[in-house]
């Protein structure tokens, strides 16, 4: 799923600027699907415009910079529908945290504990945020489903780490063979 298709997806929820599309992938309804940066969004929007999959209207704002609001065209909508019909790619994960845990035996116990504590803090905060959102107002079925999915995963992560962290910490307390050899 490339950035262009991702942008088209957000635009089905209503017209938006590049900045607003980014926000949708941060805290908004697309927040747990993936992250995208401005360096991907603006070139993608320029390309979509060239291909007539979106149109743009420029709004002059007082105080703030001009806003370019993009709208989906009929062709754009069909393009998205076609993309949705293609085979689903497997999920892609990259966990800097897990990579570090792979080298628990090379870390000092205190450094390791600090990493795990930091990770737990991030998870606890994410869980609290999702719980709050779940109890506040109405959302479309898809958003409720995805928020619940993310919540279930974060809880599973936090529970697992809390119950098994001692395994890594004891490995860290052993003589650091890999460094010594």
Binding footprint of a copy of itself on the chain (CB under 8 A): 1, 6, 9, 12, 29-30, 32-35, 77, 80-81, 84-85, 88-107, 111, 115, 118-119, 122, 140-146, 148-149, 152-153, 155-157, 159-161, 164, 167-168, 170-171, 178-179
Instruction: Give the pairing type, strands 67-72 and 54-59.
Output: antiparallel
Closest contact distance (angstroms) between CB of 95 and DNA is 13
Within a 10 A sphere around the Cβ of 54, how many other Cβ atoms? 26
Question: Whose CA is closest to 34, among 9, 53, 66?
Answer: 9
Q: What is the distance between the alpha carbons of residues 118 and 101, in angstroms, rounded to a whole number?
A: 13
Would you count residue 17 as binding DNA (CB under 7 A)?
yes
Answer yes or no: are the C-beta atoms of 74 and 55 closer than 8 Å. no
Closest distance to a copy of itself from the beta carbon of 18 (Å): 19
Q: Choose from DNA, a copy of itself, none: what does 177 bind? Cβ within 5-8 Å by kind.
A: none
Site for DNA in 53-92 (CB under 7 A): 61, 63-69
Least separation, in Å, of the C-beta of 57 and a copy of itself? 19
- Measured over the CA atoms of residue 22, residue 24, residue 26 and residue 27, the dihedral's sign is positive
What mask, x for binding DNA by CB under 7 A, covers residues 26 to 55? --------xxxxxxx-xxxxx---------
Asked if 125 is part of the footprint of DNA (rule: CB under 7 A), the reply reads no
Q: Which is nearer to a copy of itself, 46 or 78 (CB)?
A: 78
CA geometry: angle at 55 spanning 51 and 57, to 5°?
Answer: 145
Tokens representing 168 are 């890594």
Q: Output Rg (C-alpha) for the chain, integer angstroms.
A: 21
Interface ranges with DNA (CB under 7 A): 2-4, 17-20, 23, 34-40, 42-46, 61, 63-69
């Amino acid at each position: 799923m490339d950035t262009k298709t991702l942008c088209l997806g957000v635009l089905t929820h209503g017209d938006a600027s590049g900045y607003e599309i980014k926000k949708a992938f941060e805290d908004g309804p697309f927040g747990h699907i993936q992250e995208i940066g401005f360096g991907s969004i603006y070139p993608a929007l320029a390309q979509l415009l060239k291909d007539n999959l979106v149109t743009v209207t420029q709004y002059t704002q007082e105080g703030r910079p001009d806003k370019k609001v993009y709208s989906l065209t009929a062709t754009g909508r069909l393009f998205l529908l076609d993309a949705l019909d293609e085979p689903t790619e497997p999920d892609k994960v990259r966990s800097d945290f897990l990579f570090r845990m792979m080298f628990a035996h090379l870390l000092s116990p205190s450094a390791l504990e600090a990493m795990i504590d930091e990770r737990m803090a991030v998870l606890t905060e994410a869980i609290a945020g999702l719980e709050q959102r779940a109890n506040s107002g109405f959302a479309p079925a898809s958003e409720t489903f995805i928020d619940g999915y993310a919540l279930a995963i974060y809880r599973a992560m936090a529970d697992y780490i809390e119950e098994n962290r001692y395994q890594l910490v004891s490995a860290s307390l052993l003589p650091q063979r890999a460094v010594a050899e």
